[in-house]
Amino acid sequence: MFARRLDVLGAHLGLPEALLGLLTAAGADAPELSSAIVALAAGSKSVGLGVVLGSNLFNIASMIGVSAVVAGRLRLHREALALEGGVAAAATLIVGLLVLRVLPAWLALVLLLLVLLPYVAVISIAEGFPRLTLTRDQRTAVRHAVGPGHLPRPGGPSVRGSLLALPSAVAVIVLGAIGMVHAAIDLGDRWDVPQVVVGTIVLAVLTSIPNAYTGIRLGRSGRAAALVSETMNSNTINLVGGLAIPALFVSVSRPTALVGVDFAWLGAATVLALVLLGRRGGAGSRAGMLLLVLYCGFVVLQGVAG
């Protein structure tokens, strides 16, 4: 319901696909963020960190990988890949250094703001760029980077009804995530399941279902720009809201070799997804299967380590 109603508002306001992907990610990320923060507040560092890392890897596999398999082909402009992928890769690197205690929390947050604020400004005011003193090629590059404006569909929900539905939809998502975290931790303790497995596999998958649903929906509709924007922005929001900001107040992890490997795996998956999408002709079903295999390898690693 959240995704459909946000589409209505995006079409009414003429939002570009990149901005619509960011807004969709912000709402669909409610389970991951809630779960990570609740776990950290409860003292379960491994669960909180695992939710973020596991969710981000599952997002790449389920949203881009499954969409490529289902849709057969995902195509978008390389300018969009450079914009979305550059921000996501930078955020992954910065937060990885934070978790491994190479960077202090305040410095990591400053660096993240230096990356994110220009990005949000670009996709928010892109429609005003033609009025600026840009060349035709520069204006074309900007349009390719942010994607076309989302077009309305006839017979959909009203704008007023969509505005009223969004808060209740987010509230249900957040409350469900809070209950799910406590239930998963309690069951994991009772059944002697390692916390790393509870976080990176169980909760990560469950809390990522809203993102997976909306992402596959965008992929099947041929809206690759919004799909990639939602995927990369979802991962960035998880890293910033689930780890970087809480790190200002509490310790978010114990730097171990496994944590370093997990961040390296996430970075590799991000780069691989961008490379596959950037090939001539885009990412096909084989590329999607490769991303799914990479995620399965991550799951096996967590099971062995746990």
Task: Find all residues with CB under 8 Å of 69, minimum gap 6, and list them.
Answer: 285, 288, 289, 292
Q: What is the DSSP string of 170-210?
A: HHHHHHHHHHHHHHHHHHHHHTT--HHHIIIIIIHHHHTHH
**What global pTM score does this model have?**
0.84
**42: enclosing H helix or E strand:** none
Which residue range is the domain that position 46 belongs to?
A: 2-144+177-305
Region of poorest pLDDT, from 146-160, 179-193, 281-295: 146-160
- What are 48-75's pLDDT values in tens digits? 888 899 999 999 999 999 999 988 888 8
- Please indicate, yes or no, if residue 164 is contained in any of the structural domains: no
Has residue 149 got a pLDDT over 90?
no
- Please indicate, yes or no, if residue 108 is contained in any of the structural domains: yes
> Cα(first)–Cα(last) distance of the chain, in Å?
36
pLDDT band at 214 (very low <50, low <70, confident <90, very high): confident
Has residue 156 got a pLDDT over 90?
no
Rg of the chain in Å (alpha carbons):
19
- Please indicate, yes or no, if residue 154 is contained in any of the structural domains: no
- Please indicate, yes or no, if residue 293 is contained in any of the structural domains: yes
Total count of domains within the chain? 1
CA distance 291 to 219: 15
- Please indicate, yes or no, if residue 155 is contained in any of the structural domains: no
- Please indicate, yes or no, if residue 172 is contained in any of the structural domains: no
pLDDT band at 102 (very low <50, low <70, confident <90, very high): very high
Amino acid, res. 122: V
8 Å CB contact between 29 and 173: no
- Please indicate, yes or no, if residue 128 is contained in any of the structural domains: yes
- Please indicate, yes or no, if residue 226 is contained in any of the structural domains: yes
| CATH of residue 11 | 1.20.1420.30
Mean pLDDT, range 135-140, rounded to an integer: 59
- What are 190-212's pLDDT values in tens digits? 888 887 788 888 888 888 887 88
The closest of 242, 274, 256, 214 to 55, measured between CA atoms, is: 242
CA distance 96 to 179: 28
